[in-house]
């Protein structure tokens, strides 16, 4: 299940027991809409092992600015509260899933 990332819950999720994957997106972004269903599928597949969140850069620009997000979609992969990987742009499910596997 996907979680909506906000300024209020980000730090708690980032520093939680499970790895965190954050999809930075916007409603007007075509490539974001392309990978959205892939992220949703992976969120279900990895439920209980990885927390998957979506962060709307329009509503939470402070988080995006903190991590220097300039292009979307950008996916950040967190482990133990630290960014361990990053993916910019749309990609195939297999490529994104490789990154999920690397977090475990």
Each residue of 21-67: pLDDT tens digit? 999 999 999 999 999 999 999 999 999 999 999 999 999 999 999 99
What is this structure's pTM? Answer: 0.96
* Residue 73 CA: distances (Å) to CA of 25, 48, 90, 98: 5, 24, 7, 17
Residue 1: per-residue pLDDT: 80
> Could you tell me what percent of the chain has a pLDDT over 90?
99
Taking the C-alpha atoms of residue 32 and residue 28, their distance in angstroms, rounded to an integer, is 8
User: Annotated active-site positions, please?
Assistant: 29, 32
Residue 75: per-residue pLDDT: 98
Taking the C-alpha atoms of residue 13 and residue 10, their distance in angstroms, rounded to an integer, is 5
Residue 80: per-residue pLDDT: 95
């Amino acid at each position: 299940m996907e979680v909506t990332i906000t300024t209020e819950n980000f730090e708690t999720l980032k520093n939680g027991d499970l790895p965190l994957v954050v999809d930075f997106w916007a409603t007007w972004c075509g490539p974001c809409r392309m990978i959205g269903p892939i992220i949703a599928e992976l969120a279900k597949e990895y439920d209980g092992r990885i927390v998957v969140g979506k962060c709307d850069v329009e509503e939470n620009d402070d988080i995006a600015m903190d991590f220097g997000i300039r292009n979307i979609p950008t996916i950040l992969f967190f482990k133990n509260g630290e960014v361990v990987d990053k993916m910019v742009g749309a990609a195939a499910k297999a490529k994104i899933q490789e990154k999920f596997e690397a977090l475990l």
